[in-house]
Structure 1
Amino acid sequence: MAGVFEIYVKTHFSAAHALTGYDGDCSRIHGHNWMVEVSIQCRKLDDVGIGIDFKDVKDAVEEITQGLDHCMLNDHPAFQSVNPTSENVAMFLYKQLGSHLNNEYTKVSRVKVFEAPGAGAAYWEE
């Protein structure tokens, strides 16, 4: 079995949301300092010994989260038909990052999103 490397980057953004249909405080507009952890599987290293450059991953994450930062997530096009829950934010980031970073040797393996320390969701596809 061939070995697989997994690298990750962590970042954050600030945004508000409200959960439609939720019976509780989260149905009202409130904000979070969202933490994001992106993991990338690498099946091959380049001549330097790098599977994927951290800078490339950070740049892709920054490009996508920049559109979420300091906004009302419910107003974002990605969340017009689904609640901007941690689960749905993680899935959105996973799919967006995959279209930027996936290739023959690298694949976004998991995206974790935290609304608060100790509370979040992860998304991946098998």
Structure 2
Amino acid sequence: MYRVRVIKSFSAAHNLREYEGDCENLHGHNWRVEAYLAGEELDNIGMLVDFKVLKKRLKDVLDELDHQYINDLDYFKSVNPTSENMCRYIYMKLKETFGGMVERVVVWESDNSAAEYFEQ
């Protein structure tokens, strides 16, 4: 099995609905996102996927979130913008391009707090 990973960052604001605590208030993060693709076969030049292609697609997805108030985005109007739900959102967007190769997405909201999404 082969695995590749890229890391990109974005900055945005959100607030957690129905949360009893400080995070219910408007606040922001500098999120760091790790995207993992995996597969058993390499292409004819020995790559699972070109890093350039994966970085570009992840950048496109994160550009939708960057410097936004996440709660105002269509998807997050009905889905609470937790780090867990942002993982799933990014995962599904990457899956549109890379299909079953998407293994997992990790979203770090701080240096010591991260959430992951993957399908079994």
TM-score (norm 2): 0.97
CA distance in 1, matches of 2:16, 2:70: 10
RMSD (Å) for aligned C-alpha atoms: 0.8
Q: 2:32 aligns with which of 32, 35, 42?
A: 35
Pairs within 5 Å for 1:2-81:
4-81=1-78
- What amino acid maps onto 1:71 in structure 2? Q
- Structure 2: unaligned runs, 5 residues or longer: none
Q: 2:105 aligns with which of 96, 111, 114?
A: 111
- Structure 1: unaligned runs, 5 residues or longer: none
Checking the alignment, whether the CA contact within 8 Å between 1:12 and 1:35 is kept in structure 2 is yes
Checking the alignment, whether the CA contact within 8 Å between 1:16 and 1:32 is kept in structure 2 is yes
State the aligned residue count: 120
Matching residue of 1:89: 86
CA distance in 2, matches of 1:47, 1:22: 50
What is the DSSP-based 3-state SS (H/G/I as helix, E as strand, rest coil) of the residue aligned with 2:7? strand
- What amino acid maps onto 1:8 in structure 2? R
Checking the alignment, whether the CA contact within 8 Å between 1:42 and 1:52 is kept in structure 2 is no
TM-score (norm 1): 0.92
